[in-house]
A and B are shown apart, each in its own frame.
Chain A
């Protein structure tokens, strides 16, 4: 059974460019979470969806960040325009109905120069 799939695994872009990160959750899971991990701030929740609906986006740093979940098997996190301080590892995680456990993807390492 495939786990959470994220793409790309690595992204290097220049400041001001648009970045789109992609996630395919585990089939059958109805919750999806986007996190950002840095050395300074650790693992931070950005947004989470339940049944494709955004429930809490209070962790999204600013309007440059947006996330969508058009269907149960796909989600995107977009940064436009990107800035060097957005450099981090971005994780997607999914969880099943009534489950507190979350299953993480391998992450996307984003570097903005």
Chain B
């Protein structure tokens, strides 16, 4: 059983559309991170959120940390083919271990 549940598991959209990926848990985390992984590569850190209710924006990507620090969402506006990849959320506990969700595979069609 994953400590962090991600939904949906797969997402296929047309270029220009918006999408949201969710990451939920019953546990409280010190921080939560989002990574993107492309085939044949390791996960690449996109953002870290630390404060409950925090919202961070990275160009067309918006990340939100839930008030209770148990859940998070990633929203992509006007998706592009370059956004295609596996999106992973990871929650950190005080000992710096990360618990990863199973990931959401996003495909953006041109």
Contacts and interface: CB of A to CB of B under 8 A. Distances in A.
Contact of A100 (B92, B100, B102): B92
B33 A100 contact: yes
A103 interface: yes
B97 interface: yes
A45 interface: yes
B44 A104 contact: yes
B84 interface: no
Interface residues of B, number: 23
Give the interface residue-count category, chain A: 20 to 34
Nearest to B45: A101
Interface of B: 2, 30-31, 33, 35, 40-45, 48, 88, 92, 95-103
Interface of A: 4, 31, 33, 42-43, 45, 48, 50, 55-56, 91, 93, 95, 99-107
